[in-house]
Amino acid sequence: LRILPEDTVGPARPRAEVAQVYAQRVETAIQGRGRDVTLQSLALGALWTLLATIALVLLFIGMNHFFPALYTRLESWRETRIPSIRIQRLEVISASRLTDTLIAIAKVLRVVAVILLIYFFLPIVLGFFPWTRRLSNTLFNYVLDPLQNGWRAFVGYIPDLITVAVIVVVVFYLLKFIHLFFTGIERGAIRFRGFYREWADPTYKIVRFLVIIFAAIMIYPYMPGSDTAAFKGISIFLGVLVSFGSSSAIANVVAGVVMTYMRPFQIGDRVKIADTMGDVIAKTLLVTRVRTIKNVDITVPNAMVLSSHIINFSSSSKRRGVILHTAVTIGYDVPWQKVHELLIAAADGVERIQEEPKPFVLQTGLNDYHVTYELNAYTDKPNAMAEIYSDLHQNIQSVFHGAGVEIMSPAYNAMRDGNRMAIPEEYLPASYTPPAFGFRSLGQALHREPEAP
Q: How does pLDDT run across 354-413, given as a tens digit for each residue? A: 888 899 999 999 988 888 999 999 998 888 888 999 999 999 999 999 888 888 765 555
Greatest mean pLDDT among 71-85, 172-186, 228-242, 312-326 lies in 172-186
Domain co-membership, 101 together with 124: yes
Domain co-membership, 43 together with 116: yes
Give me the pLDDT at residue 327, please: 92
We report the CATH number of the domain holding residue 281 as: 2.30.30.60
Residue 317, class by beta-carbon neighbours within 10 Å (0-12 exposed, 13-18 middle, 19+ buried)?
Answer: buried
Q: Do the domain assignments include residue 425?
A: no
Domain co-membership, 85 together with 49: yes
Which residue segment(s) compose the domain that 291 sits in? 265-311
Domain co-membership, 31 together with 46: no
Domain co-membership, 351 together with 371: yes
Q: Do the domain assignments include residue 443?
A: no
Give me the pLDDT at residue 77, please: 84
pTM over 0.75: no
Q: Do the domain assignments include residue 386?
A: yes
Domain co-membership, 269 together with 188: no
Domain co-membership, 195 together with 111: no
Count of H-run helices and E-run strands, the chain: 12, 10
Task: Report d(CA 215, CA 170) in Å as an integer.
Answer: 9
Domain co-membership, 304 together with 382: no
Domain co-membership, 278 together with 360: no
The 10 Å CB-count burial string (b at 16+, else e) for 374-394 is: ebbbbbebbbebeebeebbee
Domain co-membership, 54 together with 90: yes
The count of domains in the chain is 5
Per the CB < 8 A criterion, the answer to whether 325 and 376 are in contact is yes
Residue with more model confidence, 166 or 45: 166
Question: What are the two backbone dihedrals, phi and then psi, of residue 323, each rounded to the nearest 5 degrees?
Answer: -90, 125
Q: Do the domain assignments include residue 215?
A: yes
Give me the pLDDT at residue 428, please: 75
Q: Do the domain assignments include residue 115?
A: yes
Q: Do the domain assignments include residue 369?
A: yes
| Domain endpoint, select from 206, 223, 249 | 249
Per the CB < 8 A criterion, the answer to whether 352 and 290 are in contact is no
We report the CATH number of the domain holding residue 333 as: 3.30.70.100
Least reliable range by pLDDT among 21-35, 82-96, 144-158: 21-35
Domain co-membership, 49 together with 122: yes
Q: Do the domain assignments include residue 162?
A: no
Domain co-membership, 241 together with 305: no
Q: Do the domain assignments include residue 140?
A: no
Number of neighbouring beta carbons within 10 Å of residue 137: 13
pLDDT tens figures, 36-67: 556 777 788 788 888 989 998 999 999 999 99
